[in-house]
Amino acid sequence: MSLSNLNDEEKNVLLQLSYFDLPGDLTGLSVKEIWEEAIRTQNNGGEVRRIKLEEYFTSDTYQNSSLAEVTLEGYQNNNPAMGGESESGFVGYAWGDKTGNAAAVYRGSEDFKNWDHFKTDWVSNGSAGIGNEIEQHKEANHFYGEFVKGATGEKLIVGHSKGGNLASYVFVNNLDDNPNGYVVNGAPLFWPSLTKEQQEALKSNKFDFIAYEGDFVHDLGFAPYVDKTVAINKEDYDDPFYPHYETSVNFSNGSFEKARQGSIFSSKDMNPEVIKFAIVYAVNGVRDAYKAALAIKNAALMVIHATWKGMEAAAKLVIDSCVAFISGLKNVTTKVTNDLISFFRSVKKMAQRFSGITVSAYHGTNVAVEPYLKVDLHRLSYYADRLEAIKRKTSALNNRIDDLYWEAGLFGLDNVLKADILTTFNTRLNQNIAYLHSVKTLLERTEAILSKKAQSIR
């Protein structure tokens, strides 16, 4: 059992572990030992990953897995607060086994509400999306060369989200080393910038591109090499990013529980020349290329967020501002502008597919039988009124933040987005208020029915 025959669940475990910061040099430790060291740090990795990994490592599944004898061979964390060799935000993990196989696993973009992560991961996403080589690309490639390329056995490159973009980059730039690639919800490479050989390699059986239903990150680029589409484990969710998380699917006997081959979209659903202006700048070396990439990255995030919130006017403003900015740059043709408009149209369409999703109200029929149940219905109304008051205050604050979208300008959207996400509680407040009212109504109705039955018995 080794790295050369990992199943989908085992690769997913490595992806989850990649989001945990390690306390020091832990090379030589097993996967489970790394996990045990990582969870000593509070809040490390996120609550969902901690729960899922705890279930995995305490089950018989791990003991019989290909990961049981895998050890950490290298680790690099270049987040600003981690004291790495740079502050690029790159994080990589190298794993090895006794038979000479090796794997590099790359962490994706981290919480963009944290300014350190936003200025490292998210600011460079737009540039990477149009084919520019970013610092994390260079560091990921160097990491592969240091820990994996010299392996005597098989080589595997794994990544999620932005880590998937890094894994794809390293894969296509080391084809002579004959590696295998495995990417989940990856941010696609800029297809027109790849050679014919690289494009064919991404479509080959040496590279697996997994997409979750509802994920918009892989849809924001052009990935005509999706091998498998996986159904997520929730139909109702109030976080538009939920389908993107690597933890949002279930497994059965090591394989994805619900999956189908290929993409759920045809090539006609995607624009093969997304952000086509990049070609112009890549050829002419215009300095505005990075600024333009940042503008489109900002705008795409804002359009998704605003559309999800039902703020159609704000989404339109962001799109119009971005298109006007790009159109004003040198060498931008009418066709480039039209391609950009088409790109934003697809972004809105993706966001609208899920904007109507809400968490369903509880309508249970199985209730526990108690000899005597006393509920203060007036307190339920009181709690609902308290939440209504909180909702009014947060709504007022949110409206003031929404107004900032009109004033911040294209390059001031980062901080507005950060503030908006921190104050968007109305969906959950509404769910709680509706729940309290529903419980009160249900109890009143049940009480009336029981009272009538009691009177008839008399």
pLDDT tens per residue, range 351-391: 676 554 433 322 333 333 344 445 565 666 666 666 677 66
Tokens standing for 77?
């964390």
Total Cβ atoms within 10 A of residue 429: 16
Cα–Cα dist 407/212, whole Å = 36
Cα–Cα dist 253/152, whole Å = 30
Nearest to 435 by CA among 360, 356, 373: 360
- Strand, coil or helix: what is 331? coil
Share of the chain residues as helix, strand and coil, in percent rounded to the nearest 5? 55, 10, 35
> What letter represents residue 380's amino acid?
L
Residue 346 buriedness (CB in 10 A; 0-12 / 13-18 / 19+): middle
Split at pLDDT 50, 70, 90, the class of 99 is: very high
Determine the average pLDDT of the residues in 320-335. 75
Split at pLDDT 50, 70, 90, the class of 1 is: very low
> Is residue 290 over pLDDT 70?
no
Determine the average pLDDT of the residues in 112-138. 58
pLDDT in tens, 11-20: 999 999 999 9
Determine the average pLDDT of the residues in 21-43. 91
Q: What whole-number percentage of the chain has pLDDT above 70? A: 60
pLDDT score recorded for residue 154: 94
Cα–Cα dist 278/289, whole Å = 7
> Is residue 72 over pLDDT 80?
yes
Split at pLDDT 50, 70, 90, the class of 153 is: very high
What is the average pLDDT value for the chain, to the nearest integer?
75
Q: What's the number of CA atoms in the CB half-sphere (13 Å) around residue 167?
A: 36
> Is residue 295 over pLDDT 50?
yes
Residue 205 buriedness (CB in 10 A; 0-12 / 13-18 / 19+): exposed
How distant, in Å, are the alpha carbons of 32, 122, 275, 337, 413 from that of 323? 49, 21, 11, 7, 15
How distant, in Å, are the alpha carbons of 53, 74, 311, 342 from that of 303? 34, 39, 9, 13
Cα–Cα dist 391/388, whole Å = 5
> Is residue 9 over pLDDT 50?
yes
- Strand, coil or helix: what is 169? helix
pTM of the predicted model, to two decimals?
A: 0.65
- 242 contacts 304 by C-beta, under 8 angstroms: no
pLDDT score recorded for residue 364: 34
pLDDT score recorded for residue 436: 66
User: By mean pLDDT, which of 183-187, 344-348, 395-399 is the weakest?
Assistant: 395-399
> Is residue 250 over pLDDT 90?
yes
Nearest to 86 by CA among 160, 27, 140, 15: 140
> Is residue 277 over pLDDT 60?
no
Q: How far apart are the first and last CA of the chain?
A: 73
Determine the average pLDDT of the residues in 169-193. 91
Longest dimension (CA), the chain: 92
Determine the average pLDDT of the residues in 281-295. 52
How distant, in Å, are the alpha carbons of 168, 182, 249 from that of 202? 8, 10, 24
Tokens standing for 302?
């804002």
- Strand, coil or helix: what is 209? strand
Cα–Cα dist 388/376, whole Å = 19
> Is residue 206 over pLDDT 80?
yes
Cα–Cα dist 68/95, whole Å = 12
Nearest to 17 by CA among 116, 164, 160: 160
- 78 contacts 85 by C-beta, under 8 angstroms: yes
Nearest to 344 by CA among 216, 242, 253: 216
- 111 contacts 117 by C-beta, under 8 angstroms: yes
Kindly indicate whether the domain formed by 3-269 is annotated with CATH number 3.40.50.
yes
**Range from 117-126, 174-183, 317-326, 437-446 that averages highest in pLDDT:** 174-183
Alpha-carbon dihedral of residues 417, 422, 424, 429, nearest 10 degrees? 170
Phi, psi of 246 (to 5 degrees): -65, -15
Cα–Cα dist 157/155, whole Å = 7
> Is residue 160 over pLDDT 90?
yes
Of 297 and 253, more confident: 253
**Range from 52-66, 104-118, 126-140, 168-182 that averages highest in pLDDT:** 168-182
Cα–Cα dist 58/403, whole Å = 50
Split at pLDDT 50, 70, 90, the class of 64 is: confident
Cα–Cα dist 403/322, whole Å = 18
Cα–Cα dist 386/380, whole Å = 10
Determine the average pLDDT of the residues in 143-167. 94
User: By mean pLDDT, which of 119-123, 214-218, 242-246, 258-262 is the weakest?
Assistant: 119-123
Tokens standing for 354?
């899920």
pLDDT in tens, 209-220: 999 988 877 766
Total Cβ atoms within 10 A of residue 23: 11
Phi, psi of 275 (to 5 degrees): 55, 55
pLDDT score recorded for residue 400: 65
> Is residue 96 over pLDDT 70?
yes
> Is residue 311 over pLDDT 70?
yes
pLDDT score recorded for residue 26: 93
Which residue ranges make up each domain of the chain?
Answer: 3-269, 275-360, 361-458
Cα–Cα dist 435/385, whole Å = 12
